[in-house]
C-alpha cells in the first residue's frame, strides 16, 4: 500500500503542464471571493426542505418528478469512489477502472433548476489515489473540483445551486491526472430539469414514460509486443503505459456503459410501441454522433440545454466532447433498434452500440415488405 501511495503521488507530478495551469486556479479558489450579489444566505438555505436521493446504476435513473413540486429543495446525494478491476469486452480485456459508485458511467442525478445539490463525496481508505469531482452544472471553483480533493480515507461535502437547466457531465479532475481519471471511467451526468418540466419549444409540454442514461466511454488499454492487451496489478502500475496510449488519441475501445455489449442482447433497453422515451447520452472526453437505427430524435437537445429550442426529427445528432445531450422519441414500431455512435467504425468495431427491444403491434402503413427477396 505504501508503494502504491508513493506511485500515485508521483502521478500528480507527471501531468506537470496541467498542474501548472490548475495550481494558480486552485490557489485563487481559496482566496477571498470578489463581492457578488448573494440571493440566499446560509440561514435561508437552512429553512429549505431536504430530500435524499438513492442513486441507481445506469442505464437506469432514480425515481423523480418531471415537474418540481413546491419550491427549491436541498437535494442530498452520496457518491462513493471505487477503484476496481473491470472486464470491458468479450475477450476478457481488463482495466483498472476508477468509478463513482462502482459503475461506468457513474449514476445520473436528477434535480430541478434552482435546487441546491449537496454532494457527499467519499474516498474509502481501500483506494490508493486522491480524487475529486467537477460538475459542469455548477458555478465556481473548477465546478467543485477545487473544493473536493479527497485522499483515501477522507470524505467531503459540496453544495452548489443548480442555476442552469439541462443535462451536464460531471467527472473527476485531480491536478495532473484529469484525462487519466476521466478515461478510466470516472464520469457521469446530472440532469437539471426546468421547474415546469420539458417543453417542445412551441409552448407544449413534453413528458416521458421512460428515461435511460447512456454514458459513452473511451478506453486506452496498452498492448504488449505481441499485440495482446496488457494487465496490471493496480491503476498506478498501468499509468505510464496508459498515458503513452492516451497521447496517441486512438482509443482501444469506445463503449456504452462501461463495456462492449453492456446494453445489447439480454441487457437491451426495453420499451413498447407508443412509449415516449428520453435518452440522455454523455461523452466526457470525445465527440460523438448518436443515431437510432429505425427511429429518430423527434426532439433533440444535442448540447443538452433545455431552455434552448430543441431540434426536430433528427436522424443523427452531434454531442461535443465534455457534454451530455438528450433526445426524445416515441417508438412507433416493434423490433430491435440499434442505438449507435454513427462513426460506424467506432460502433461496430470498437463497441459503441446499444439495443432497444420494443414490443407492440407492427404498423404496415409505416413499413411493409412489398416483395420479399427472391431470385
User: What residues act catalytically?
Assistant: 131, 134, 136, 171-172, 181, 186, 291, 315-316, 342
C-alpha 281/C-alpha 367 separation (Å) is: 28
List 190's β-bridge partners, or say none: 109, 168
- Whole-number Cα distances in Å, 157 to 77, 119, 134, 223, 296: 10, 6, 13, 39, 40
Angle between helix 2-14 and 16-30 (nearest 10): 90
Q: Which of helix, strand or coil describes residue 240?
A: helix
Within 10 A of 268 (CB to CB), how many other CB atoms are there?
18
Torsion of CA 319, 322, 328, 329, to 10 degrees: 50
Contact 149, 141 (CB under 8 A): no
C-alpha 350/C-alpha 284 separation (Å) is: 17
110 CB-side CA count, 13 A: 21
Tell me the three cell numbers of residue 71.
419550491
121 CB-side CA count, 13 A: 26
Look at the chain and count its residues.
375
Nearby residues of 57 by Cβ (< 8 Å), 6 or more positions away: 101, 102, 103, 107
Amino acid at each position: 500500500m505504501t508503494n502504491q501511495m508513493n506511485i500515485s503521488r508521483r502521478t500528480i507530478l507527471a501531468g506537470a503542464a496541467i498542474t501548472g495551469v490548475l495550481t494558480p486556479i486552485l490557489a485563487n479558489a481559496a482566496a477571498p471571493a470578489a463581492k457578488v450579489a448573494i440571493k440566499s444566505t446560509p440561514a435561508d438555505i437552512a429553512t429549505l426542505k431536504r430530500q435524499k436521493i438513492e442513486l441507481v446504476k445506469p442505464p437506469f435513473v432514480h425515481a423523480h418528478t418531471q415537474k418540481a413540486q413546491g419550491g427549491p429543495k436541498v437535494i442530498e446525494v452520496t457518491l462513493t469512489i471505487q477503484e476496481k478491476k473491470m472486464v470491458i469486452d468479450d475477450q476478457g480485456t481488463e482495466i483498472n477502472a476508477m468509478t463513482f459508485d462502482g459503475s461506468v458511467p457513474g449514476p445520473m442525478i436528477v434535480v430541478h433548476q434552482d435546487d441546491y445539490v449537496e454532494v457527499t463525496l467519499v474516498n474509502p481508505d481501500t483506494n490508493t489515489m486522491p480524487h475529486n469531482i467537477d460538475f459542469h452544472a455548477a458555478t465556481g471553483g473548477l465546478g467543485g473540483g477545487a473544493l473536493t480533493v479527497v485522499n483515501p480515507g477522507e470524505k467531503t461535502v459540496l453544495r452548489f445551486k443548480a442555476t442552469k437547466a439541462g443535462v451536464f457531465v460531471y467527472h473527476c479532475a485531480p491536478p495532473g491526472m484529469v484525462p487519466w481519471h476521466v478515461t478510466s471511467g470516472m464520469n457521469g451526468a446530472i440532469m437539471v430539469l426546468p421547474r415546469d418540466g420539458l417543453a417542445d419549444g412551441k409552448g407544449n409540454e413534453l413528458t416521458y414514460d421512460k428515461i435511460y442514461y447512456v454514458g459513452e466511454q473511451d478506453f486506452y488499454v496498452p498492448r504488449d509486443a505481441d499485440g495482446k492487451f496488457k494487465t496490471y496489478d493496480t491503476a498506478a502500475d498501468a499509468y505510464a503505459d496508459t498515458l503513452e496510449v492516451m497521447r496517441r488519441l486512438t482509443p482501444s475501445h469506445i463503449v456504452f456503459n462501461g463495456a462492449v455489449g453492456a446494453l445489447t442482447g439480454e441487457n437491451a433497453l426495453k420499451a413498447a410501441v407508443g412509449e415516449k422515451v428520453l435518452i440522455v447520452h454523455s461523452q466526457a472526453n470525445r465527440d460523438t454522433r448518436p443515431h437510432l437505427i429505425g427511429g429518430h430524435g423527434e426532439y433533440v437537445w444535442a448540447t443538452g440545454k433545455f431552455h434552448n429550442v430543441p431540434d426536430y426529427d433528427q436522424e443523427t445528432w452531434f454531442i461535443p466532447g465534455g457534454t451530455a445531450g438528450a433526445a426524445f422519441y416515441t417508438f412507433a414500431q416493434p423490433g430491435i433498434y440499434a442505438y449507435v455512435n454513427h462513426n460506424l467504425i467506432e460502433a461496430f468495431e470498437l463497441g459503441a452500440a446499444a439495443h432497444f427491444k420494443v414490443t407492440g403491434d407492427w404498423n404496415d402503413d409505416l413499413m411493409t415488405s412489398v416483395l420479399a427477396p427472391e431470385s
